[in-house]
Chains A and B, each alone.
Chain A
Amino acid sequence: MQYGMIIDIDKCVGCHACTIACKAEWEVPAQFGRNWVHRLGPAMTSAGMAYTFYPGLCNHCDKPSCVDVCPADPVTMEFKDSKSGKSVTMEVAATWKDPFNGTVQIDKKRCLGCGACADACPYGARYVNPDLADDNSEGKADKCTYCMPRVGEGLQPACVQTCLAGARIFGDLSDANSDVAKYVKKGAKGMTSKAVQIGPNSRYFGSKKADLELLFAAAPQEMPEANLRRNMLARMMKPAMKSVTNIGLAGLAGTLLVKSLEDDDK
C-alpha cells in the first residue's frame, strides 16, 4: 500500500483553503505551513500564456531524503498493517517511512529539532516549529502526515475535505481501482526533475500543456547539498541534548559547532 494524493490543476482555482484548513486542523503556527499554494504566472510558455497554481505538500516519497539524515537515536518500532494484521519491526530514528502505508512520519517526542530533515527535503515540505521546544530540543520538525490520524477515523485529510473544487483526491496508489491510481494512469505525475528523482507520491494532473509546463518548471531542480558536516555535528550534539546532566561533555563541541556554522554563513 502506498498512500498518495492527486492534485487536479484543471480544477484548482488557487483559493488557498487547503493551506488554512491544515493550519486549523493541526495548529500549525501562522508563519509555517504543512502545505502551500504557490501562484505561478501569468507567464509565457511554449504553449502560450499560463496562470496556474502549485498546491504542494509532503510527497511521502518512495526514497525519502529526509529519513536517513535524522540523527536521533534509533529505536525499535513495530509497525502493523491494519488490513492484513501483519507486523514488521524496524530500527527507526525520529522519522521514518511506514512500511505498510508508505507515509513518512515523525516522532516529535524524540525529535531534536536539528532541522537536518528539513534541509534534506528538496521540496521544502518540512519546517522546525520553535514553539514546540522542550528540554531536549529547541523545536520540533513538522510536516504533512497525509492526515493519518483523520484517515484512521475514516475521515478525509483536512485539505481534501475543504477543497471546493474537488481538486484534491486522496487514496491508495497501489490499488489499481482507486481514484488516485486512475489519475496516475491518466498521466498524473510527481514534481520531479532530472536531478530530483525520489519517488514523490503527491501527483499532479492537468490537461493544458501551458499549465503543466509552468507547474513542472516549479519542481526542484537539484537535491539539497547534503551537508554532511552539519549532520555529523548534529549527531555529536545529541548526547548533550538528551540529558542535562551530561551537558558538560558537549561544551567544547558545542562551542566549536557554533563557530563553524557562523563561518558557514559568512
Chain B
Amino acid sequence: MNLTRRNFLKTASIAAASVPLSKVVAKAETTVAKAPLIPMGSFKDTKTVTGGICEMCFWRCQLVGKVRDGALMKLEGNPKSIDNGQAICARGNAGVKLLYDPDRLKYPMKNVGKRGAPKWQKISWDEALDTCAKKLNAVVDKYGAQGLAIFPHGASAKYPMHYFERVVGTPNVSEASFFQCRGIRDTAYLSGFGTTPGEHVDMANAKVIFGLGCHFGENIHVSHTKRYLKGLENGAKLVIVDPRYSASAGKSDIWVQIKPSTDTAMLLAMMNYLIESGKYDKKFVEEHGEGFDEFKAGIKEWTLDKAAKECDIPAAQIKEVADLLAANAPNVSIHPGRHVSWYGNDFQRERALACLTGLLGAIGVPGGFVKPKGPGGVKGKSWAHVEHEHPAMNIREELDIYPFTPPGTPTDLIRKAAVEGKPYPIKGCVAWGQNPIQTVPNQKMTIDMLMQMDFVMCVDVMPTDITMYADILLPEASYLERFDYIKKGTQWNYADKHEQFISARMPLVDPLFERKDGVWITNELAKRMGHEKLIPVKNQQEAVNIALKGAGLSIDKLKAENGIHVQPGKDPYGISEDFTISFNSEEVADAGFPGVPTYIPVEKPPQGFMRLLYGRAPVHTFNRTMNNVWLNAAMPENPVWVNDKMAAKLGLKEGDRVSLVNQDGVKSRNTTSVKVTPGIRDDAVYLYHGYGTMNPLMTVGHNQGIDDQALITKLAVDPETGAHGMRNNFVKIVKA
C-alpha cells in the first residue's frame, strides 16, 4: 500500500510536468473484464442457474450459479440443498477462478517438443482424435489391450475408464482415490463389517468422536464438517490421535500425540483393556460378532504399558480414551478415516478400527456407524463388458498377490511392468483427470514409465505435472460446463426430518473455446477405434436422463425443481439381525494374513532425519487448485512444520527459507518457509500436500512451495491391498 501511495504521488508529480496521467494497467487475471468502480454484487440483475454440483473436491456440494450476461459471477450453495445448504467452502467459492483461469486448456494440442519439455501446437479435434485412435490401436495391435495403462480420476473419468476397461479390455486401470487414498479402508471394513464405510459416522449425534489422524477443518467436506461441528455443539467429547496438533486437535478434549506409524498398537491396547475390564458391549459382540475368542487371545499381549512404550504416549491416556468411549458407548463415532494409505501397515489398522466400533456396539445407533438409507432407483448406463477371445493378463491376479485390493490394479504393478517390460510391455497411457506424478511415490519412476511409452494421451481441465508428458493433450469441459454426476443422499443430520435427495450435475454456463465433455470425447475416440456400435449413450444428457429415469426423474424435471429433487426418507438407525462383524476374519487368515488385527512396526527415522508427514490444506485439493488465483493468494506456499525444540537445536527460526532432502538424497525442487511450533513431535515434520508443481504452464502455482510427493521416493506397499503407504520417508532440513 505504501508503494501504491507513492505511485500516486509520483504520478501527481509527473502530471504536474504536463505528462498525461497514466493509469495502472489492470492485471489480466481472468477473461472477465476489469472490475467496475462500484461492484454490483452477485444478487442483482443476475440469473440464478440451478443444478450445479461442485468438483473442486470430491464431496460434491450442490451449487447455484449467479450469471450476468452469460458470465458466471459467483457460486453459492443451492438453498434447496439438505446436504451442504447455502454453505460452500473456500474451494467451492473459488470455482469461478478455475472456470476463467487463463491457463486452462483451451484447444486440443499436439506436443511437437519432447515429453517433459513440451512444445504445444494447437490442432483440430479431428486431428487429435484421429491421432489418439491410431496410436492407441497401434499399441493394442502390437501388445494387446494389456499394453494400455489408464489413470482416471473424477466424475467425468468413469465413462472413459469403463470404455478402456470393458471394451478395449485393459486391466491396467488405477484410480488414485483407491490406491493412494481410501481403498484400504473400504476393503478392510468389507472384511470386518461386510460393507464399505464411507465416512458414515453419525458425529452430529455422538457423545464421543474418535478421530485417528482426522483433521477436519484442514480437510473440508461441507456436510461432513457440519456433522462434526453439530456433534461438538451438542456436547460430544472429541478425541484426536495425531502426531501433530491439527485443526481438530485444537478443538479436542483429548489430544493423543502419538508416535507416527504406531496407531494400531494403541487401538489394540484400548480393545484389550476394554475386554479385560469387561467394559465392552457383550450383548452386541455375542449377537453379531464372530471370531471373538481368537481376537481376545490374539490381542492379549497388548497391555496399556506395552502400547504406551511403543506409541510414546502415557498408558493413563490410552486408558482415559478407552474409558471415555466405554462410558459413552454405543453412541460413539469411531471415524474410519479417508486418506488412509500411510505406512504400509494400514489394512490392519483399518481392521482394528472396525473391530473397535463393534466392540463398543457403535453400529446402527445414534452417534455410531450409520449408513444413510436411500434414495434408490438411480442406475447409470455405461459401456457393457465385451468378451475378448484372449483376455488381457491381469498382473495382480497372475502374481496372486494383494487379495484385498480395491477395484483396479495397484498403480505400482502397472508402473513396474511398464518400466521393466515384464510380465509384458505397457506402451500406451491415458491419464484422465489424474496427476500420477503428484500421487504415486517415486516421481522418477513414474516419469520413466511415461518416457518409455509409445503414446501418452492426457485429458484434463488444467495443465498439471503429467500433462507435460502428453503427446496429445485434450481440453475437457469443467464441472461447471457439463452434465454428469448424480449426487444423492439424505439430510445431513440424521436427527432432522428424514428426507432423501437426488440431483444431477448440469452446466451453469456453456463451455468456452474448444472444450468438450468426457462422453463426447470418449464416443468420438471409440468411433475411431472401431467401437461405434458399442456406444452406450449418445451424449452426456442422455447418460444423465437414463440414470435419473429409474428414480422417475429427468433433467427437465430436476430443472423444474431447482436442481434438487427432495422426497420423504427413512430412519437410518437399526441393524439387521444377520449383521456380522468379524473380529477374527477367516477370510483374511485364509489369504495368509493376520485374521486378528495385528500391529506391524515399520521403519523408524534414521539418525538425523525426521518422518515426512503431509495432509490437506483447507483451501486446496491437492495440485488441482494450486493455480487458482484466489486460493493461491490465501495460501501461496506450504510452510514446513518443525517442532520448536528441534528447530532450536537445528538453528532454525520461524520464516527461515529451507529445502528438504530425503533419505535417498532427493532434494526438493523449491524452498519453503519454516513454521516453528510446539504442535508437532520432534521426530516428524509436516507439509500441506500438492504444492510445488513442476509445470510452468500453471503460471500461478508453478514452483510455489515444496512438492511433498517429490520427497516420497520409497514405497511402503500395504501387503493385503497393494495400496501405497506414503509416510515412510524421512527428511533433513537444509537452509536455503
Contact = CB atoms under 8 A, between A and B. Distances in A.
Interface of A: 10-11, 13-17, 19-21, 23-27, 29-31, 33, 37, 41-44, 49-52, 108-109, 112-115, 118-119, 127-135, 137-140, 149-150, 153, 155, 158, 161-166, 211, 233, 237, 240-241, 244, 247-248, 250-252, 254-255, 257-258, 261-262, 265
Nearest to B38: A108
Contact of A162 (B34, B41, B88, B226): B88
Given A16-B634, A41-B679, A131 B4 contact: no
A211 B17 CA distance: 55
B93 A131 contact: no
B421 to A, nearest CB: 47
Given A162-B86, A165-B229, A240-B16, A15 B39 contact: no
B274 interface: no
Interface string B676-702: 011110000000000000000000000
Contact of A115 (B5, B91, B225, B629): B5
The 8 closest A-B pairs by CB, nearest first: A42-B679, A251-B16, A51-B250, A13-B217, A254-B13, A20-B93, A164-B87, A42-B245
A27 B29 CA distance: 12
B576 interface: no
Interface in B201-247: 216-218, 220, 222, 225-226, 229, 232-233, 245-247
Interface residues of B, number: 79
7 contacts: A25-B39, A128-B1, A130-B7, A150-B41, A158-B42, A240-B12, A257-B13
Contacts of A44: 678
Nearest to B97: A30
Contact of B255 (A49, A134, A257): A49
B24 interface: yes
A161 B13 contact: no
B2 interface: yes
Contact of B76 (A118, A161, A248): A161
B18 A247 contact: yes
A113 B10 CA distance: 13
Given A13-B251, A15-B89, A138-B24, 12 more contacts: A14-B247, A16-B89, A21-B88, A23-B630, A24-B630, A27-B35, A30-B632, A41-B677, A112-B8, A150-B41, A164-B226, A165-B225
Contacts of A31: 633
Centre residue among A13, A233, A257 by max chain B CB count within 10 A:
A13
B24 A133 contact: yes
A258 B6 contact: yes
B77 interface: yes
Contacts of A149: 41, 43-44
A107 B24 CA distance: 21
Classify the secondary structure of B's interface with A.
mixed
Contact of B233 (A11, A21, A50, A52): A11
Contact of B89 (A25, A130, A164, A241): A164
B26 interface: yes
Given A30-B29, A42-B250, A244 B21 contact: yes
B74 interface: yes
A24 B39 CA distance: 10
B679 A24 contact: no
B165 to A, nearest CB: 36
A241 B11 CA distance: 10
B367 interface: no
B351 to A, nearest CB: 30
A19 B226 CA distance: 19
Given A51-B246, A139-B8, A150-B43, A24 B74 contact: yes
A52 B41 contact: no
A17 B93 contact: yes
B353 to A, nearest CB: 23
A162 B90 CA distance: 9
Contacts of B633: 30-31, 33
Interface string B336-355: 00000000000000000000
A237 B76 contact: no
Contacts of B11: 138
Contacts of A13: 216-217, 220, 225, 229, 247, 251, 618
Contacts of B7: 130, 138
A114 B9 CA distance: 8
A118 B630 CA distance: 22
B24 A237 contact: no
A24 B96 contact: yes
Given A42-B679, A49-B255, A149-B41, A138 B74 contact: no
A26 B4 contact: no
Interface of B: 1-2, 4-13, 15-18, 21, 23-24, 26-27, 29, 34-39, 41-44, 73-77, 84, 86-94, 96-97, 216-218, 220, 222, 225-226, 229, 232-233, 245-247, 249-251, 255, 618-619, 629-635, 677-680
A15 B1 contact: no
Nearest to B19: A247
A246 to B, nearest CB: 10
A131 B16 contact: no
B231 to A, nearest CB: 12
Nearest to A13: B217
A20 B634 contact: yes
Nearest to B679: A42
A42 B644 CA distance: 11
A51 B9 contact: no
A115 B247 contact: no
A51 B255 CA distance: 12
A114 B4 CA distance: 8
Contacts of B29: 29-30
Contacts of B17: 251
Given A16-B619, A30-B630, A165-B225, A130 B250 contact: no
Contacts of B5: 114-115, 128, 261
Nearest to A163: B87
B3 to A, nearest CB: 9
Contacts of A24: 42, 73-75, 93-94, 96, 630
B42 A25 contact: yes
Given A42-B250, A49-B255, A128 B15 contact: no
Contact of B634 (A11, A19, A29, A258): A19
Contacts of B12: 237, 240-241, 250, 254, 257
A237 B93 CA distance: 40
A266 to B, nearest CB: 13
Nearest to A253: B16
Contacts of A252: 16
Contact of B90 (A16, A41, A115): A16
Given A131-B27, A131-B34, A254-B16, A115 B1 contact: yes
Nearest to A259: B13
B1 A20 contact: no
Given A17-B93, A20-B631, A51-B250, A115 B41 contact: no
B86 A161 contact: yes
Contacts of A164: 84, 87-89, 220, 222, 225-226, 229
B695 to A, nearest CB: 20
